[in-house]
Amino acid sequence: DFLFVVEIGFSFFTAYYDENSILVTDRKRIFNKYVTSDFLFDLPMAVPLSLIAWASSSQVKAWLRLPKVLRLHLVYKHWHKSNTNVQGQNMLQSISRLLFMTLAVSHICASIFLFLGRFGSPGWLSRGFDYGAHFEDHVWQNYLVAFYVVFSTFSTQGVVGELTPSTFQEVLLAFFLMILTITLFAYVLGEISSLIMKADDEVAEARGKQAVVENFIKSKRGITEEIADEVRVYAHNTSSQGHDVDLDGIYKLMSHSLQVQVAQCISRDFLDDVPLFKDCTPVFLDSLSVLMREAQYALGDTIFRANEVSKHLYIIVSGAAERWLEVEDEDPLLDGKSIAGQCVGDLSFFFGMRQIYTCKTVA
């Protein structure tokens, strides 16, 4: 009881998250929030009725601790919170939550059945029964029998040995347990089916992500097997943290060091032969190789047109491209031809100006 009172005192100063996921630290708002919600349950639960009865020389009754049952509202809050976050749970957590729910319902029903046995007229404990041992007035032993009866009702027909419901209260409880059994069975079966379907979806999603990673590795010609294994491990760890893995974004999700290693196998050596970057440092070329993306064009495709502002610098790896100047009221004029190792679109890329020519592939 003392700990319950202390908890009420701390609750007046405990910050909380509002509906917008903003942490509320204002004491007035915390006070109003607690008084209008959990305080209505916590106050009756914290009143030490049994201690007051003992201090007043009155007979202490077990039902005086009945307000402690209000503590179940906390169980409901945690249960509701776990259900709202069920998508983030794994198989073990979901099964544990389901098992806890089943045991909690069984415990509550067993406590009610034990109450009827001890205080009923006549209760099932006073009628006597044979379980191979004589259970005297030991609450723990009687609770185990009550729990066994309730759990057996959930799993079988509801009649256990010589123990059958005889009083109106016991018949009413047995009827309630049978209805609860149907509901609980349907719920448990639905949850297990949902877990199996979720596991199948996760397996299919994992295989899809693995296929994306393999396609990424195959698309990067020249990558070594050692680097490929590092990419697979990194992509697996990244996807397990909830990040989406797709062919366009997998490279961005890698660490910078891994990006440099992949780029060194693909495009780093090629940059050493580009005249535009011949005086650049190796560190700059490493960073530049990470930013490079492969683009393929068919014969006769237009890479960019005149008067466009390009955000990309194009480095020709293989083939060739022609630069055409567009003159008003005249046919386009050939300005020149760029081959492998040369760049096109550099003026627009570096200075933000419009392209002065149209670039088309010719080989």
pLDDT digit string, tens, across residues 129-182: 554 444 455 777 788 888 888 887 777 655 555 667 777 887 788 888 888 888
**What's the whole-number mean pLDDT along residues 52-76?**
65
**What's the whole-number mean pLDDT along residues 292-299?**
84
| Tens of pLDDT, residues 127-142 | 555 544 444 557 777 8
- CATH number for the segment(s) 296-361: 2.60.120.10
CA 309 to the chain's CA centroid: 42
| Tens of pLDDT, residues 91-125 | 677 777 788 888 888 888 888 888 887 765 666 66
CA–CA separation, 245 and 255 (whole Å)? 14
CA–CA separation, 46 and 68 (whole Å)? 8
Question: Which residues are CB-neighbours of 296 under 8 A, at least 6 positions away?
Answer: none
Predicted confidence at residue 221, as pLDDT, reads 66
pLDDT greater than 80 at residue 67: no
Predicted confidence at residue 200, as pLDDT, reads 82
Predicted confidence at residue 208, as pLDDT, reads 77
Residue ranges covered by each domain of the chain? 1-85, 87-244, 247-287, 296-361
CA–CA separation, 16 and 94 (whole Å)? 26
Which of 160-169, 185-194, 276-285 is predicted least confidently? Answer: 160-169
Pull the structure tokens for residue 86: 């069920």
| Tens of pLDDT, residues 199-224 | 788 778 778 777 777 777 776 666 77
Task: For residue 192, name the pLDDT band (cuts at 50, 70, 90).
Answer: confident
Q: Where are the alpha helices (DSSP H) in the chain?
A: 2-11, 27-35, 39-46, 49-55, 72-84, 91-119, 124-127, 139-155, 168-219, 225-240, 250-253, 256-266, 268-271, 282-291, 346-351
Please, what's the largest Cα pairwise distance for the chain?
A: 114
Predicted confidence at residue 320, as pLDDT, reads 92
75 or 145, which is more confident = 145
Residue whose C-alpha is closest to residue 242's, from 204, 214, 202, 282 = 202
| Averaged pLDDT of the chain | 76
Predicted confidence at residue 134, as pLDDT, reads 46
| Separation in Å, CA 206 to CA 187, 200, 202, 236, 323 | 28, 10, 6, 9, 46
The answer to whether 285 and 271 are in contact (CB under 8 A) is yes
**What's the whole-number mean pLDDT along residues 268-275?**
79
CA–CA separation, 37 and 224 (whole Å)? 61
CA–CA separation, 268 and 275 (whole Å)? 14
